[in-house]
Amino acid sequence: MASIVLDVPRAEHHPADRIGIGERRPRLSWTVREAPYGWTQGAYEVQVAVDARGGAVPPWESGRIGGADSVLVPWPAPPLGSRERCVVRVRVWGRDAAGGGQPSAWSPPLTVEAGLLSPADWTAEMVGPDGERDPEAWERTALLRGAFELPAPPAYARLYASARGLYELELNGARVGDEVLAPGWTSYRRRLRYQTYDVTGLLRAGPNVLGAHLADGWFRGRIGYGGGTRDVYGDRTGLLAQLEVVCGDGTTVRFGTGPGWWAAPGPVLRASLYDGEHHDARLVPPGWSEPESEGGDGWRPVRVAADFDVRTLRAPTGPPVRHTQDIAPVAVTTSPSGRTLLDFGQNLVGRLRLRTRGGWGARGAEVTVRHAEVLQDGELCTRPLRHAEATDRYVLAGRREEVWEPRFTFHGFRYAEIDGWPGEFDPADVTARVIGSDLRRTGWFACSDDDVNRLHENVVWSMRGNFVDVPTDCPQRDERLGWTGDIQVFTPTAAFLHDCSGMLASWLADLAADQYADGTVPLIVPEIPTPDWLPAWPMAVWGDAAVLMPWELYRAYGDEGLLRDRYGSARAWVDRVLAGGTDGSAGRQLGDWLDPAAPPDDPWAARTDAGLVAAAYAARSADVLARIAEVLGESADAERYRAAAAGARDRFTAAYTTADGRLTSDSQTAYALALVFDLLPDGLVEPAGRRLAELVAADGHHIATGFAGTPVICEALTRAGALEDAYRLLRQRECPSWLYPVTRGATTVWERWDSLLPDGTVNPGEMTSFNHYALGAVADWLHTRVAGLAPAAPGWRRVRVAPRPGGGLTWARARHETPYGTADIRWRLHRGHRHRLEAEFTIPHGTTAEVDLPGLAPYEVGPGSHRAGVDLPEA
Ligand code: RAM
C-alpha cells in the first residue's frame, strides 16, 4: 500500500536517535504522516536489527501485532543489554479492506543504543583534586588529565561521563560533545545523571589524552537566596569517565578515571552559577589535554572518592542543555556614566561569546561583562539580581585573536555592560549565546492582536529561559530553583509549547526522591537548604505538583508508565494533605501568592484566604488521584480517593461558603478555583459564576489574582458564560494585566504584574524578576479556548476542537505536534459578516476529534483536513 508514509519512530521520550539510553525495553511511538482518507491502523510490526559491530545478525521481527496503538507501545523484542545498539523500523496495516492486506513500507530507521545499564558495567572511579581548597581561589576550577594508548586506529568508541560538579571534556585537545552544564542538576545523592558520547572521531592510534574542566556547579557552588549555601551535596568535586574503544584490529581498550589520573588548578579562577566566571587565559597550560604535552608543573595525583555509589547513576530521559540560538546586539550605546551598553533586544538566558584581537600587547588585559534584565536611568539595574554578581571576566593571553565564552555559568539578561575592551570595540565581536534544555518545539499560537502574540512569545521565551535542566522560577537572581508551585501551574502550557515529557519525568523522579517520609513535598526540587522553608511543611499549590503534574503530562503525552512510576509519590502527598497537611490546616500557606493587591514587601497578603486555596487544592488533588488510580486499575484506591475528594468538597462548601451563597473570601481567585476545580454543589455554581464576573467587572477588568488564581481565571469566566469578561481581562493594557508588561516592552513574562512600575522605575520589592513563567500559564487558555485546541483523551488520541471567538479578535490559530502528528486549527470571522465563523482544522492519523463550535451541536470527525462555517449566536 504505497500511500501510507510513516515518520521515523521514537523511543520513549528521547529526541530522535539517541545513544546511551537507560531503558532496556524502550517503548516505541510512530506517526503516520500520510494515509488515505478514513484509514486507521489495524496492526503493526516492529523490526529490530541489532548492530553486532561487524557480524551480520538477521533482524529480529515481531510479526504482525494487532491493534491501533502507535504511541508508547511496549518494546516487543528481547530487552536491550548494556551498550547494545539497534536499528528499529516499523510498518503498519490498515484495519479494513482499504488496507488491502498489504503492509505499508517500512518507516525510516531509528537508531537507539543502550548506555551502561548495570552498576557492574562501571569500572571507572570518581576522581578529583586532592588536598585542601585554596581559600584565595575558592571557586577555581580544576583540570584533570589521563593518558592512554590505543594499539590501532579506533573503529568505535563511547565515552560515559558524569561528575560531582560540572564538567566539560576534551579528547586530544578537542571538545567532546555539545552539552552545556553537564551532568545537569538532579537530587545528586540519590540520582546522578551520566552522559554518553560517540568519540570515535576524536581518537587516534598511539598516545591519547582525555582531559576535563571541573567546576563546582550546583554540587558545591553557592546556591540559594539570602546568601545561599555552599557544599550542598559535598565538599569535593569529582569526575567519572569511562572510555570504551573497539579498535580497527579488533582489540578493545577500556580506560577510565582512577588512580593514574592527574589534577591541576584550572584557568578559571572563579566559576559560579550566580556570580559568573573569571577566566585567565594566561593560565591555560599549553596542550594540557593533548598527548604531546607532559602536563607539566602543578599537576598532582588525583584522589579517588571512596564514598561514590555507582548505583545512583541514571541515563538521561530528556534532552541535554545546549546552545539553542545566537543573538547579535541590536544596539550599542554609551550610558550616562560613560559605559558601553549592549542591548540584545530580548531578555534571554545564556552568556556572551567574546572575540578579542588584542595581540601580545594586550596580554593580561581584563574584559569585564556585567549583565542585567533592565535599565534604570540609562544604567544596568542589578538590584533585582540580589546576591548574584552576574559578572564575567576574561583576562587575555595576548594572542592575535581570542574567542571566549564562559563554560560554567549563565545569566538572565537583555543588557550587558562591557568594560576594558582592548582596542576599538566592534559589536560584531560579541554574541549572546542562548542556552537551555534543548526541547523540541511542539506548539504555536497567533491571533489578530499583536500584543497578545507578543505575550505568547514572552511565555515561550520564559519557558526557554527557565527550562535549564530543572524547571526554575527565574534564571537571573540568586535563586533559579525548582519551585514546585511555579511549574505545577505552568505544566499544561509547557507541555503544549515544547516536548518536555522526558525532562519533567526526570524532575518528578527527583521530586519523589526528595519527598519526605510523611509525604510532604519539598517546596523546591531538587531540595536545598533555604532560610525559612526547611524542613518543608505541606504547602498547597506547590506540593500538589506531585499529583497534578503527572496527570497533566499524562493528558499531554499519554504516558501511563509515568503515572505508574509516580503513583506512590502522588498518593503519599494526598494522604499527607488529607491527614491535616493542608486541608483544614491553619499552617502557613503561600496561598494566592503575589496577589497584585499585596504590598511589594508582603507578597503573602492576598485577598483570598490561604486556607480556602489549600482546601480547594486538597479536593482537586484527591479527585485527580482517584482518576490516576482508575487509569492504573487500582480500583480500591480509586473508590477511596473519590470518596475523599467528595468529603474535601463538602468541607470546602461547609467552611468557605456563606449563607447567601457567596464564598467567605469574596475574591476572584476564590470563585475561579471553586469553579474550575468543580467544588461547589449544583445550586451554587451559577451564582458563583455570576459573582466572579461581577468582581472582574468591578475591578475594571484588571488582574486581581496571584499564583493560584491567575492560571484559572479566564477558564473560570469561560465556564461561567462570561467569555467577554475573560477577553477584556486578556486584552487589558493597564496595570495590572497580562498586556501591561507588553506595553512596557517586555520580552519575557514578569514575576510581578508591575515588575516595572508605571512610572518606569523597577519595583522596589526584593523579589522582582523579569523572567518568571508562572503568570504566563494563561497561554493554556489561548491554546485551548481562544484558538480552540486541546487534548480530549490522554496523549491527544482524541482532539478537542472548540474555539471560543470573542473579544473583538478577528482570527486565531494554533498548531500542536501531538504524539500522533500535527493537529492545527485556524479560524476567522468573515470579512463582511462578523457573525460568520469560518474554521479549518487538521486532525492527525490515529485520532478522532470532537468539534464543538459555538451555536452548533458538537460532532465528531476523523483524521484529515476539515472545514466548518457557522453563524455565531448573538452575544
Ligand atoms: C519566590 C520564587 C517562586 C515562588 C516562591 C514562593 O521566591 O521566585 O516564584 O514559588 O517565591
Which residues are the active-site residues? 479, 751
Q: What is the DSSP letter of 498?
A: B
Of 33-42, 48-57, 670-679, the least confident = 48-57
Q: How far apart are CA 219 and CA 186, in angstroms?
A: 10
Distance 483 CA to ligand 1 centre (A): 6
**What is the average pLDDT across 264-289?**
97
For a ligand 1 pocket test, name from 385, 466, 473 the mutation site with the most ligand atoms within 8 angstroms of its C-beta: 473
Minimum-distance ligand 1 atom for the alpha carbon of 483: 10
Q: What is the DSSP string of 104-143?
A: PPPPPPEEEEE---SGGG-----EE--S---GGGTT--EE
In the chain the first and final C-alpha atoms are separated, in Å, by: 50
Ligand 1, atom 9: closest residue by C-alpha: 473
Between residues 37 and 714, the one the model is more confident about: 714
What CA–CA distance (Å, rounded) separates 652 from 668? 16
Would you mind telling me the total number of residues written for the chain in this entry? 875
Atom of ligand 1 nearest to the CA of 485: 10
DSSP string, 356-387: E---GGGTT-EEEEEEESEEETTEEE-GGGTT
At residue 847, what are phi and psi to the nearest 5 degrees?
-130, 170
- Per CATH, the number for 322-437 is 2.60.120.260
Mean pLDDT of 219-244: 96
Share of the chain above pLDDT 90, in %: 91
- Whether the CB-CB separation of 467 and 437 falls below 8 Å is answered with yes
Mutate to test the pocket of ligand 1, among 486, 534, 752, 753 (most ligand atoms within 8 A of CB): 486
Q: Which residues contact 682 (CB under 8 A, 6 or more apart)?
A: none
Residue 857's Cβ-count burial label (10 Å; 0-12, 13-18, 19+) is: exposed
- Decide if 267 contacts 278 (C-beta within 8 A): no
CA of 504 to the centre of ligand 1 (A): 19
Side chain identity, residue 441:
R
**What does the alpha-carbon distance between residue 50 and residue 85 come to, in Å, rounded to a whole number?**
6
Spelled out in words, what is the top-level CATH class assigned to the domain 791-871? mainly beta
Burial state string for 325-364 with b = 16 or more CB within 10 A and e = fewer than 16: eebebeeeeeeeeeebbbebbbbbbbbbbbebebeeebee
Assess contact for 253 and 150: CB atoms under 8 A: yes
Q: Nearest Cα to 173, choosing from 203, 215, 140?
A: 203
Report whether residue 479 contacts ligand 1, using a CB cutoff of 6 Å.
Answer: yes
482 CA to centre of ligand 1 in angstroms: 9
Residue type, position 136, single letter: E
Q: Whose CA is nearest to atom 4 of ligand 1?
A: 483
- pLDDT at residue 549, rounded to an integer: 99
Atom of ligand 1 nearest to the CA of 225: 7
Residue 773 Cβ < 6 Å to ligand 1 = no
pLDDT of 828 strictly over 90: yes
CA nearest ligand 1 atom 2, residue: 473
Q: Is the CB of 473 under 6 A from ligand 1?
A: yes
pLDDT on residue 54: 56
Tell me the per-residue pLDDT of 129-168, one tens digit each, with 9 for 90 and over: 998 888 888 999 999 999 999 999 999 999 999 999 999 9
Residue nearest to atom 5 of ligand 1 (CA): 483
**Ligand 1 and 706: CB distance under 6 A:** no
* Closest C-alpha residue for ligand 1 atom 7: 767
Q: What is the rounded CA–CA span in Å between residue 852 and residue 792?
A: 12
Q: How far is the CA of 676 from the centre of ligand 1 (A)?
A: 23
In one-letter notation, the amino acid at residue 667 is: S
3 state DSSP class of 94: strand
SS3 readout for 34-73 = ECCCCCCEEEEEEEEEECECCECCCCEECCCEECCCCCCE
How many other C-beta atoms can be found within 10 angstroms of the C-beta atom of residue 762?
19
Same fold: 119-269+284-314 with 322-437: yes
Q: What is the pLDDT of residue 3?
A: 87
Does 30 sit in the ligand 1 pocket, CB within 6 Å? no
Q: Find out whether the beta carbon of 593 lies less than 6 Å from any atom of ligand 1.
A: yes
Mutate to test the pocket of ligand 1, among 524, 534, 767, 773 (most ligand atoms within 8 A of CB): 767
Most confident of 94-103, 184-193, 289-298: 184-193
Instruction: For the chain, give the mean pLDDT.
Output: 95
Per-residue DSSP letters for 204-241? -SEEEEEEEEEE-HHHHS-BSSTT-BS-SS-S--EEEE
Between the alpha carbon of residue 87 and those of residues 12, 138, 226, 317, the distances in Å are 15, 48, 51, 19
How much distance in Å is there from the Cα of 536 to the middle of ligand 1?
Answer: 14
pLDDT (0 to 100) of residue 137 = 86
202-215 mean pLDDT: 98
Q: Which atom of ligand 1 is nearest to the CA of 590?
A: 6
Select from 156, 157, 265 the least CA-distant residue to 213: 265
Rounded to the nearest angstrom, the distance between the alpha carbon of 451 and the centre of ligand 1 is: 27
How many whole angstroms from 626 Cα to the centroid of ligand 1?
29
| Per-residue pLDDT at 583 | 63
**Which residues does residue 638 pair with via DSSP β-bridges, in sequence order?**
none
**How far, in Å, from the CA of 81 to the mean position of ligand 1?**
43
Nearest atom, ligand 1, residue 474 CA: 8
Ligand 1 centre from 475 Cα, in Å? 12
d(CA 646, CA 303): 59
198, with CB counted inside 10 A (0-12, 13-18, 19+), is middle
- Choosing among 3.40.50.720, 2.60.120.260, 3.40.50.300, 3.20.20.60, the CATH entry for 119-269+284-314 is 2.60.120.260
Ligand 1 pocket: which of 476, 521, 593, 604 to mutate (most atoms <8 Å of CB)?
593
pLDDT of residue 533: 85
Which pLDDT value is given to residue 719? 98
The closest-lying atom of ligand 1 relative to the alpha carbon of residue 769 is: 8
Single-letter residue type at 55: G
CA–centroid distance, 473 to ligand 1, in Å, is 6
> Could you give the 3-state DSSP secondary structure of residue 798?
strand
Three-state SS for 462?
helix
User: Distance (Å, rounded) from C-alpha 199 to C-alpha 130?
Assistant: 28
β-strands 798-801, 848-851: how paired? parallel
Convert the pLDDT of each residue in 363-394 to its tens digit.
Answer: 999 999 999 999 999 999 999 999 999 999 99
* Ligand 1, pocket-test mutation among 472, 479, 752, 769, most atoms within 8 A of CB: 479
The confidence band for 306, taking pLDDT boundaries of 50, 70 and 90, is very high
Between CA 865 and CA 154 the distance in angstroms is 51
* Nearest atom in ligand 1 to 542's CA: 10
| Confidence (pLDDT) at 875 | 59
For residue 33, what is the enclosing H or E element? strand 32-34
Q: Which residue ranges make up each domain of the chain? A: 5-113, 119-269+284-314, 322-437, 791-871
Q: Which of 254, 145, 154, 249 is nearest to 201 (CA)?
A: 154
pLDDT bucket at 25, cuts 50 / 70 / 90: very high
Backbone angles phi, psi at 533, to 5 degrees: -115, 5
Query: How far apart are the CA of 770 and the centre of ligand 1, in A?
Result: 13
pLDDT of residue 582 exceeding 80, the answer is no
Task: Pull the grid cell for residue 766.
Answer: 526584593
Which residue would you say has higher pLDDT here, 51 or 11? Answer: 11
Measured from the CA of 593, which atom of ligand 1 is nearest? 6
Domain 5-113 has CATH 1.20.140.10: no
Q: Spell out the residues 6+ positions from residue 724 whose beta carbon is closer than 8 angstroms to its own.
A: 806, 807, 875
Residues 243-257: tens digit of each pLDDT: 999 999 999 999 999
Q: Are 473 and 769 in contact (CB under 8 A)?
A: yes
The residue nearest atom 8 of ligand 1, judged by CA position, is 473
Residue-wise DSSP of 395-429: E----SSEEE--SS--EEEEEEEEE--SSS--GGG
Q: How far is the CA of 603 from the centre of ligand 1 (A)?
A: 10
User: Is the CB of 592 inside a 6 Å radius of any atom of ligand 1?
Assistant: no
Percentage of the chain modeled with pLDDT above 70: 98
Closest CA to 817 of 468, 470, 500: 500
Can you tell me the mean pLDDT for 463-489? 98
